[in-house]
Amino acid sequence: MTLTRRTVLAGTALAAAPFGGQALAQAAPSTPGSSQSAETSQAPGFYRYKVGDIEVTAINDGFARRPLEGFVRNAELSQVKEAMREAFLPEDALPITFTTLVLRRDGGGLTLIDTGNGDSGAPTSGFWMENFRAAGFEPSQVENVVISHFHGDHINGLRLKDGTAVFPRAEVMVPAAEWAFWMDDARMNQAPEGMKGAFQNVRRVFGPIANDVKRYEADKEIVPGLTSVAAYGHTPGHTAYMLSSGPGKLMVMSDITNHPALFVRHPDWAAVFDMDADQARQTRHRMLDMAASERAQVAFYHAPFPATGHIAKEGNGFRFVPVQWMPVV
């Protein structure tokens, strides 16, 4: 992949840190000694559902606020604001949420799909561990951590800023194509100055465990029931997944879209974080069309929590239809 100013925009913003821009104030879950009160805190951010015999738990890691100016590369700001108005969203900045998935089988350990921002998050993110524990889990239970791509909001939860590994017992699994890009010393040395931090963050997270990281190819079952799906474009090795158990199926879309109100409704729009916009657009159309045709349940990393629902064909684009919240699993 050729590094350009466009790839700098993507890599610098997400591989080294979650998002730029001023953050909105959000109430974090109350903890002992916290200044947050019960009146300003939400309930813990987790939601469970089943895919066949596999229990899926969505874990919220907060949000970041991204200014709209320049966010969509190939649309006028007025068009983007109109899309925000149609979705009843603010017209100055987009609140982008972060939602990871925890998979649990009967009698088995846990598999994570991505890890959130860790302690590198903005003031309105970094709640993952509180919500993970509120859901009844502990890091020691995690057997596998499956990474979709190497942007910081997906990998920083693996390692604290002081270097501590968060899941020391877990096998870490990454896309081979993503590893080949970000761990290439020659590519890092030739990268524009603004992108070097992204490469350095990848090495900070993976360097201490580089010999133990398992690299997986596309279209392979990487843990029971979870098959990798090549979804390149957002990054060189960006990966989606098909989770299958009995008759149940879930398409885990990772970052095929950013907020559905923009990029599901307008799949030809290119987000500033897409490193290869043309390839990302082709991937987006292919995956959204597949989900709509098969009436499949989907999960997105950046959709409004709990970030799962269905895709419906609508006009020249698609529409994200959230699942109905259920009080039981």
Given pLDDT bands bounded at 50, 70 and 90, which one contains residue 31? very low
What digits encode the pLDDT tens for the residues 257-277? 999 999 999 999 999 999 999
Average pLDDT, the chain: 89
What pLDDT score does 214 carry? 98
Domain 5-24+41-322 matching CATH 3.40.50.740: the answer reads: no
Is the pLDDT score of 11 beyond 60?
no
Mean pLDDT of 284-292: 97
What pLDDT score does 9 carry? 44
What digits encode the pLDDT tens for the residues 300-325? 999 999 999 999 999 889 999 999 99
- DSSP class per residue in 54-105: EEEEEEEEEEEEEESTTTBTTS-HHHHHHHHHHTT--SSEEEEEEEEEEEE-
More confident residue, 32 or 268: 268
Given pLDDT bands bounded at 50, 70 and 90, which one contains residue 56? very high
Query: Residues of the chain with pLDDT > 70: what percent?
Result: 88
By the 10 Å C-beta count (0-12 exposed, 13-18 middle, 19+ buried), 43 is classed as exposed
What radius of gyration do the chain's Cα atoms show?
19
What pLDDT score does 107 carry? 76
What pLDDT score does 41 carry? 74
What pLDDT score does 194 carry? 80
Amino acid at 242: M
Mean pLDDT of 85-104: 97
Report the Cα 242 to chain-centroid distance in Å. Answer: 15
Is the pLDDT score of 57 beyond 50?
yes
Mean pLDDT of 175-187: 97
Given pLDDT bands bounded at 50, 70 and 90, which one contains residue 122? confident
pTM of the model: 0.89
Domain ranges of the chain: 5-24+41-322
Is the pLDDT score of 8 beyond 80?
no
What pLDDT score does 39 carry? 60
What pLDDT score does 21 carry? 32
Asked if residue 214 lies in contact with residue 201, where contact means CB atoms within 8 angstroms, the answer is no
Residue of 153, 162, 163 whose CA lies nearest to 207: 163
Asked if residue 57 lies in contact with residue 101, where contact means CB atoms within 8 angstroms, the answer is yes
What pLDDT score does 167 carry? 97
What digits encode the pLDDT tens for the residues 204-238? 999 999 999 999 999 999 999 999 999 999 999 99
Residue 324 phi, psi (nearest 5): -75, 130
